[in-house]
Structure 1
Amino acid sequence: MHYRHFHAPRRSLLAIGLLGCIAPAFAADAARAATELDDVIVTASRTPQAPDSALAAVTVITREDIERRAPASLPELLRGMPGISIAANGGPGKVASTFLRGTESDHVLVLVDGVRIGSTTSGGAAFQDIPVEQIERIEIVRGPFSSLYGSDAIGGVIHIFTRRPHDAFDPSLNIGAGNYGTQRYGAGIGGRGETSDDRGGWYQVHAAYESTDGFDSYRDNPANAFDSPNPDRDGYRNSSLSLGAGHRFNKAWDVEARALRAEGNNKYDGFNDESDIVQQVVGGRLRYAPNDKITVSLNLGRADDLSDNFSLGLPNGHFDSHRTSGSLQGDFGVGAGLATLGYDWRRDEVGSDTPYDQTARITRGVFGQWQQAFGAQSLQLGLRRDDDTQFGGETTGSARWGWEFTEALRLTASYGTAFRAPTFNDLYFPFFGNPDLAPETSRSFELGLRGKHGWGGWSVNAFETRIDDLISYDPTPTPERPFGQPNNVDEARIRGTEATVDATVLGWAVQGNITWLDPRSTSGFDDGNLLPRRSRTNARVDADRSFGAFSVGASVAATGERYDDPGNTLRMGGYATTDLRFGYTFAQAWTLQVNANNVFDKTYETAMFYPQAGRNWFVSLRYAAK
C-alpha cells in the first residue's frame, strides 16, 4: 500500500543557472556531443552497444516518434508500448502509474540522463510531470536489472534522455493548440562540432510550456464516504527548461553536464484539490578513455520531486523528496570480453510537515559484469551487492545468453533476481509505517526469439516472474499500531508473452505489439486473483506513410478487462482507441500537423472513477532544421 507524496516547491534555479552560464564556453569550441546515442543503446548493459546486440528485450522511442504521435503527456506516449500498461487518475498532470510486465508501478526504475528519479515517499516516478517536449529518446528495457542498478528494477528500466543537438547549429520551434483549452509551446537552440585534433563540445537549451483547462477527471464514487462530487474542469500547467553542455578536451578526456526543471500547477478533485509541483534533475559526468580497452567514468546527480498541497486554496501540507547519487564505473577490455566494475552511492531524503521517524538513508552498491561473444553465441553475467543503512544488504545476479543460429534468427535466454527497497511511507509514515520491513524480492526467467529480415524485424519473448515478500497492508493489530500496518505478507506470480513486429508493407511503416499476461496473487485472501489494474491482453498498432510533402498515420491501442481491486470485485471493461494524424511539410524545415485522438469517442477508464479524454484534436506547427 502506497500513498501519493506531496512536495513543497523551491523556486531557486541556481544549479540550472550555473549550467546556463558555462554553456556558451562549450559552444565556443564548435563542439560535438561526448556520447552519441543515435545508433546505440546504453541501458541494457550500462555500456554502449548496438540494439541488435542486446540480450534483453528493448524498445526505443525516438524524437521522430514523439513528433509524429504528438502525445498529450509522457504516460500517453508510453501507453501501449510492449509490456507496458498505464493507470491514470484523469487527464494531463494527474497521477499515472506505469506497470511493466505486470509488476507493481514501483517495480520499474526510472532514469533521466542516467540519474535515478522517483519519490522516496511513494516510490513511484511522476511520469505525468515530465514534458514530452523535453525528451529526445526513451529506452525501455524489460526484465530484472537489479544486478546493474540495484533497487526497483524488478520489471525493468525506463531511461529518458533529454534534448540534444545533431548539427553545428540546431534550432527548433513548436507551437500548438487543441480542445480543452490546450496550448503547447517549445523552443530550443543547440550546436555541436569538432576540430581536426578531436577536440570540441556541444550545448543545448530548450524551453517549453503547456497548459490545459482539462475536463472533469473524477466521477462520483458512492462507496466512498469521504467523496464529495466536484463537477468542474481539472486543469494543468507546466513550464520547463532543459540545459546541457559538454566538452571533449582530447581523445582521452571529456565532460558533460545536464539539467531539467519542470514546475507547474495541478487541479483535481478530493479533500486536497490542488498542488504546485517541481521536478528537477541535475547531473554531470567526467570520462577518461585513454584507449579502446579502458573507459573510466565518474557520474554525479541529484533529483528533486517537490509539491505543495492545497485544499480550497489554503496550504495543506508539503513533502520534499531528494535523491543525491554518484557512481564510479570502469569498463575494461580483456581479450575478447568486456569487464565492468562499478560502485554506486545514493542518499535518499524526505522533508515534510508530516513527522517521519527517520528522514534519510544511504545505499551503497558494488557491481560487476562480464560480456563476451563466442562466435555466434553471446554471454552477459552480472552480480551486485547493495547495502542500505535501513534494512541491511541484498545480493542480486543475472545471466543472459544469446545464440545467432542463422543470419536472420537469434535465440536468447536469461535468469535474474531483483529487489525493491521499502519507501519512507512504508517504513515511517505516522501511525502506519513499519520500520521492520524487508525488501521485496523477485526471480525471473525469460526465453526469446527475434528475427531480422529485409522487410523488417520481429520478436517473441516468454517470461515468468515470481515476487516474494510483497509489502501490503496487514490488518493484524500490534501494540504500537492497533489498526494494523504494512507487512511482507504477499506473493505474486506473473507469466507473459510479448510479440512485436516492425515492417514496411506497401510503403507503410508498421509497428505492432501484443502482450498476453497472467498476473496473479499467490497468497492470502486474494490467492489466485488477478493483480489490480493489469489487463491480461494489451496491443497496439502504428501505421504511417508519406506521400511527397504529405504524411498520414494511425494508431490503434486496445486493452482487455481489468479489476481495480485485489479482491477482483470492481471490474473495468476492455476498450480500444483510434488516433489519426495528418502532416504537411510545406518548406524544408516547417511542418503543419493535425492529430485527431480517440476519434470514435470511446468512453473508458484506466483507473476506476477516473474518466479519460473523449474525442479530441490538436494542431501544431513545427520547425526543425534538417
Structure 2
Amino acid sequence: MRLHPLSLALCLALPSIALAEEAPEPGQTAELTRVVVSATRTERVIADVPNTVDVIDRARMDETLTRDLKDLFRYEPGISVTSSFGRFGLGDIRVRGLGGNRVRIQTDGIPVSDAFSIGSFSNANRNFVDLDTLKRVEVVRGPTSSLYGSDALGGVVSFVTKDPSDYLGEGKDSYFGLKFGYESSWSGLFAGATAAARLSERWSAMVAVDHRQGKETENMGRVGGEGAARTRTDPQDRDGRSLLTKLVYEPSATQRFKLTVEGNEDSADTDLLSMRGRQASTGATNRLVTGDDHQTRARVSLAHEMDEVGAWFADSLDWQVYRQDSETTQDTMEVRRTSRGVNERRERQFNFDQRLYGVQANFHKEFETGGARHTLSYGLDVSRAETRQKRDGLVYNLDSGAVSNAMLPDVFPVRDFPISRTTNAALYVQDEIALADDRLRLIPAVRVDRYELKPRADAIFREDNPGLEIADLRKTSVSPKLGAVWHFAGQWSLFGGYSRGFRSPPYNDVNIGFTNRMFGYTAIPNPDLKPETSNGYEAGLRFVGPALSASLSTYYNTYRDFIDSTRFIGFNAEGLQVFQSQNIDDVRIYGVELKSSVDLAALSDAWSGWSLRGAVAWSRGKGRGAEAVEVAPGVIEDRTVTTHLASVDPLTATLGVAYDHADWGAELAGRFVGRKDRLPPVQSGAPAHYRQTPGYAVLDLLAHWDFTPGARFNVGVFNLADRRYFDAGDMPLVTPGSNVVDRFTSPGRNVSMSLALEW
C-alpha cells in the first residue's frame, strides 16, 4: 500500500488531535515549551516563535548515543547530513533541501569555517565541532538573514557549548565526570573527562577533554579487493581530540564575563584500495594510493552578559569578541606506472585555512505603547576573515631519479583563488510586539549587511594566472522579516510569516583563476556577481497540552540568482574555452512538516512512563536555468527547462515508542524514507535519467540504565533487522547501470554504548 505524503501526515496528526481533546486541563509538554534563543535572539519557548525550530538537548543526544552530525539529525526529518564514499566522510548539513555554505553553522554565535572542494583530492568540510562539548543544538529552518546575515539562506544550525553553571548549583561547588563509549559501525572508541569548580564567590571554571579513535565506517558493500570495482569502504585509521575550557567571573548576580578557549582536531589515514589498478582517464596503473587528512579549529572568545542594565537604551545586553583559526590539510601519495611505462611517485598537498576575527553585541529593551508591550532587540555584527587555499605537489621519477613540480595540467604550487580578505558589518533591529494580553505577537525585523571583498594576488597566484585581473567587491543587502504568533484558543496557536535570505558572492567565485593551455581552457573572475537571495513563506498550527504537543507547518521558499561556478561562456581571442561563475538559476522548494509528542501518562495512570514521538517531512524542489548554453562551438544545449533538485530529500518520517522508569528506560524508534524518484535529467548523453534511491524502513532500539547514583549506561542497536539501505543524501547522481552503488550503502546492524560517571 502506498500512501500519499499528505495523507500520511494527516494519519499521524488526527490521532494526536483526538488525544489532545481528551486532555482534562491545560498543561505543558516538553517539545514546544523548550526555550530557544536562535529564532528571535531572545529567550522564547518554541510555542511563541513564528517559525519552525528544532531543539536537541544534551539529554536527548545522550539517549540517542550521538557522536557525529549524522547521528545528531537521525530522527529529524527535513534535516539531513550527507556523506561520501572514501576518505572524506561526512559532508554538509541540508535544511529543507539546501546545504553547503548556504546554511549558517555557528558555535556560540561564531560561524564555523567555509567548505571548499576542488577536484578528487581536495575537500575541506565544516565538521569542526565535537558534539560531546555541547549542551544544546538549535536549528532554525528557512531563510534567517534578518538576524544572521549572509549564509543563512537556507537556515541556521546553532551549537551551544557547556558552561560551568550547567554542573554547579546551590550547595554544589565542584563536579567531575567521566564518559567512555564504543561504536561498532567504525570500531570507534571514545573517552572524555569534564571538571568544573567554583573557585571563589565570583569565579568559576570548567575543562572538558575528549579523545576518539577508530577505523573506517562500515557499509554493506560486497566486493573487496583492489580497483574501481571495490564497493567495501577503504581501510582507514581515524583519530581526534577536543578541548573546551571556560573561565567565568561574576561581579554580581546579574552579570557574567566568560573567557572561552576551544580546540578540535581530527586526523584520518586512508589506504585508497578503490583507486588502485588501471585508471581509465589516464591509462596509468596505480600500485598504491594513500590519503593523510588533518583538520583543526581553535577559537578564543571573551563574552559579557548583563541581565539588568537599567539604562534608557537597554534592559539587558550581551557582547563578545573572538578569534577563530580553522585549517584543513590533505596529503595524497600515488605510486604508479604511466601509460608510457614510466614508474613514478606523485605527492599532492591541499591546504585551506581561514582566520576569523569578530565582535558581536546585542541589546534588549522592553517598553509599552498604549495596549502593546514591546521587546526591542538590536545589535551589530562585525567580522573579518582571511582565507587562503593552495595546492602543491611533486612528481618523482622512480626510474631516473628526476623530480618535477609539473603534474599536468598543473605546475605547482597553485592557488585557485587569490588570498582573500572579507569584511562584513551589519546592524539589525527587531521588535516583538505583544497584543491582546499576549495572545497575539507580531515580530518585524530588518538587518542591513555591508560586505566587502579585497583579494591579494601573491607570487603563486600571479605565476599561475599571468595577466589576470582580480576584482574587489562591495555589496549591501537588506533583509526584512515579519512573523506572527496568534494564540487563538487556549492551547491552540497559529504562526507564520515572511523572511528574506541572502548569500554574498563567495571569494572563490568572484576571483576564480586558472589557465590550462594544454587542454584549452581558462577561468576568469566575475566582479558583477549578485548575491543569492531567497524569499521564505511559512504558516503553521500548534497545539500544546498536558498530553500532547504538535506542530504542523507548510513552507514555500524561492531562491534567485544561484551562482553556477565555472560556467562555460564562450571562447577568447586565443581560442581558449572561457569559464566564469555566473548568476543563473532560480529555485523553489516547498513542503509540509509535522512534529508531535504524546505523554500517555497524562491520559491514564495505567500508561505511566509511556510516551510517543513522531515527525514527518514532505518536500519538493525545482530549479530552472536562465538561458541556453553553448557547450561547444555551434552546439547549443537548452538548460532553461525546469528540473527537480537532487538535494531535496524524499518523504521522511520517524516514530518512536518509549518507556521510562525511575532508573531505566527504553525506546523503539523507526525511520521511514520514501523512494527518491524526483531527480534531474542527465544533461548530455544517455541514459536520460539517474538511478533512484530506494525507500526503506529501519528500526533502532535504545535503552538506558541508571544503575547507581551518578552512573548511567546507554546502549543502542541500530538497523535492528540488518537492512541494506541508502540514505538519500549519500548516493550521488549515478546511472542506473552502475555496478558500484553498494559503496553508498549505510552500515548494517551495529551497536553503540556509553558509560557516564559523575561526582
Specify if TM > 0.5.
yes
CA contact (8 A) 1:343 1:366 kept: yes
2:570 and 2:218 map into 1 onto residues whose CA distance is 39
Correspondence list, 1:272-311, <5 A: 273-288=291-306, 289-291=308-310, 294-311=315-332
Deviation readout 1:393-434 (Å, 9 max, x if unpaired)? 111100001110112101012001110123233233333464
Q: Which residue of 1 aligns with 2:612?
A: 510
Letter in 1 for 2:315: I
Structure 2 counterpart SS, 1:170: strand
What is the Cα deviation at residue 143 of structure 1? 2.2
2:220 and 2:663 map into 1 onto residues whose CA distance is 42
1:471 and 1:219 map into 2 onto residues whose CA distance is 36
CA contact (8 A) 1:535 1:561 kept: no
What is the Cα deviation at residue 228 of structure 1? 8.9
2:543 and 2:130 map into 1 onto residues whose CA distance is 34
Distance change (3 Å), C-alpha of 1:527 and 1:304:
farther
Q: Which residue of 2 aligns with 1:139?
A: 138
Higher alpha-carbon deviation: 479-488 or 58-67: 479-488
2:231 and 2:509 map into 1 onto residues whose CA distance is 30
Distance change (3 Å), C-alpha of 1:88 and 1:466:
same
CA contact (8 A) 1:192 1:203 kept: yes
1:519 and 1:152 map into 2 onto residues whose CA distance is 19
Q: Which residue of 1 aligns with 2:624?
A: 522
1:433 and 1:162 map into 2 onto residues whose CA distance is 42
2:316 and 2:647 map into 1 onto residues whose CA distance is 43
Structure 2 counterpart SS, 1:79: coil
Q: Which residue of 2 aligns with 1:54?
A: 49
What is the Cα deviation at residue 87 of structure 1? 1.6
1:244 and 1:125 map into 2 onto residues whose CA distance is 28
2:676 and 2:236 map into 1 onto residues whose CA distance is 25
Alignment match of 1:173 (pick from 175, 178, 182):
178
Deviation readout 1:215-248 (Å, 9 max, x if unpaired)? 4669799xxx999989632332211111122222
Letter in 1 for 2:182: A
Alignment match of 1:418 (pick from 501, 512, 523):
501
Q: Which residue of 1 aligns with 2:673?
A: 559
Q: Which has more radius of gyration?
A: 2
Alignment of 1:445 onto 2:505: no
Correspondence list, 1:121-270, <5 A: 121=116, 126=125, 128-164=127-163, 165-167=166-168, 168=172, 169-179=174-184, 180-191=186-197, 200-215=202-217, 232-251=234-253, 253-268=255-270, 269=272
Structure 2 counterpart SS, 1:533: coil
Correspondence list, 1:512-591, <5 A: 512-523=614-625, 525=639, 527-562=641-676, 566-567=680-681, 569-591=690-712
Q: Which residue of 2 aligns with 1:402?
A: 485
What is the Cα deviation at residue 59 of structure 1? 1.2
Letter in 2 for 1:575: Y
Q: Which residue of 1 aligns with 2:423?
A: 362
Q: Which residue of 1 aligns with 2:721?
A: 600
Higher alpha-carbon deviation: 225-234 or 421-430: 225-234
Higher alpha-carbon deviation: 48-57 or 494-503: 48-57
Letter in 1 for 2:593: E
1:479 and 1:296 map into 2 onto residues whose CA distance is 56
1:370 and 1:399 map into 2 onto residues whose CA distance is 10
Higher alpha-carbon deviation: 480-489 or 549-558: 480-489
Alignment match of 2:380 (pick from 338, 343, 366):
343
What is the Cα deviation at residue 39 of structure 1? 6.1
Letter in 1 for 2:750: N
Q: Which residue of 1 aligns with 2:338?
A: none
CA contact (8 A) 1:533 1:562 kept: no
1:226 and 1:399 map into 2 onto residues whose CA distance is 53
Alignment of 1:328 onto 2:423: no
What is the Cα deviation at residue 78 of structure 1? 1.4
What is the Cα deviation at residue 565 of structure 1? 6.6
What is the Cα deviation at residue 206 of structure 1? 0.6
Structure 2 counterpart SS, 1:86: strand
Distance change (3 Å), C-alpha of 1:400 and 1:135:
same
Distance change (3 Å), C-alpha of 1:466 and 1:347:
same
1:102 and 1:304 map into 2 onto residues whose CA distance is 29
CA contact (8 A) 2:87 2:234 kept: no
Q: Which residue of 2 aligns with 1:22?
A: none
**RMSD, aligned CA:** 3.0
CA contact (8 A) 1:112 1:159 kept: yes
CA contact (8 A) 1:349 1:361 kept: yes
1:478 and 1:150 map into 2 onto residues whose CA distance is 37
Structure 1 counterpart SS, 2:747: coil
Structure 2 counterpart SS, 1:500: strand
1:189 and 1:161 map into 2 onto residues whose CA distance is 18
Alignment of 1:499 onto 2:600: no
Letter in 2 for 1:477: G
What is the Cα deviation at residue 82 of structure 1? 4.2
Distance change (3 Å), C-alpha of 1:247 and 1:51:
farther
What is the Cα deviation at residue 351 of structure 1? 2.0
What is the Cα deviation at residue 510 of structure 1? 2.2
Distance change (3 Å), C-alpha of 1:570 and 1:39:
closer
1:540 and 1:316 map into 2 onto residues whose CA distance is 42
Alignment of 1:79 onto 2:74: yes
Distance change (3 Å), C-alpha of 1:588 and 1:249:
same
Q: Structure 1: where are the runs of 5+ without partners?
A: 1-37
TM-score, length basis structure 2: 0.71
1:272 and 1:616 map into 2 onto residues whose CA distance is 27
Distance change (3 Å), C-alpha of 1:84 and 1:125:
farther
Deviation readout 1:470-492 (Å, 9 max, x if unpaired)? 11242223539725232111111
Deviation readout 1:431-464 (Å, 9 max, x if unpaired)? 3464332211000111111001110200011010
Structure 1 counterpart SS, 2:383: strand
Structure 2 counterpart SS, 1:152: coil
Q: Structure 2: where are the runs of 5+ without partners?
A: 1-32, 276-288, 335-346, 391-413, 453-472, 515-522, 601-606, 627-638, 682-688, 732-742
1:399 and 1:294 map into 2 onto residues whose CA distance is 24
Deviation readout 1:263-293 (Å, 9 max, x if unpaired)? 1212454677331111233322123432395
Q: Which residue of 2 aligns with 1:34?
A: none
1:84 and 1:63 map into 2 onto residues whose CA distance is 19
1:317 and 1:127 map into 2 onto residues whose CA distance is 16
Deviation readout 1:379-403 (Å, 9 max, x if unpaired)? 1111111111124111110000111
CA contact (8 A) 2:547 2:599 kept: yes
1:518 and 1:277 map into 2 onto residues whose CA distance is 35
TM-score, length basis structure 1: 0.86
Letter in 1 for 2:303: R
Aligned residues: 581
Distance change (3 Å), C-alpha of 1:230 and 1:412:
closer
2:697 and 2:260 map into 1 onto residues whose CA distance is 39
